Amino acid sequence: MINVGLTYGGQSYENPTTYAAIELDITGGVTEVMYCPWCGDMFIQIVATGLSSVNTLVVTAEGGLDNSNWDNLDANDASTTISSNGTTLLYFPGSVTPYVRVSGLSNAPAVVGCKAFFGRVS
């Protein structure tokens, strides 16, 4: 689990309200958990590689209050389907749960790669 406190290594010293994204591989179907009780207005960028015309990825941004029980962060309870290589940006305005992760890739071919980049805006 990555514990993102009020200040963390990705924080910009020139502008302390700017945060660098935290890069996590989606391995074994889920990213490492990010714990950030002060996070709000979160962006999650998904970068997919190795997809072919017959492959798709379905990823879900999940949140939880206790690092044990998870639910979809999307207000419409929707997952994101990715059908081509490249970047997909997810945005969650307002406060998010203290524990956040991205799940997906559970049945994707081994050649498919996927990284999640977590960025806190406020």
With a CB cutoff of 8 Å and minimum separation 6, the contacts of 14 are none
Using a cut of 0.85, tell me whether the model's pTM lies above it. no
DSSP three-state, residue 54? coil
pLDDT of residue 66: 94
DSSP three-state, residue 99? strand
pLDDT of residue 109: 54
d(CA 83, CA 57): 6
Residues of the chain with pLDDT under 50: 110-111
Which residues sit opposite 119 in a β-bridge? 43
CB 101 within 8 A of CB 32: yes
Domain at 2-6+19-120: CATH code: 2.60.120.1110
CB 70 within 8 A of CB 63: yes
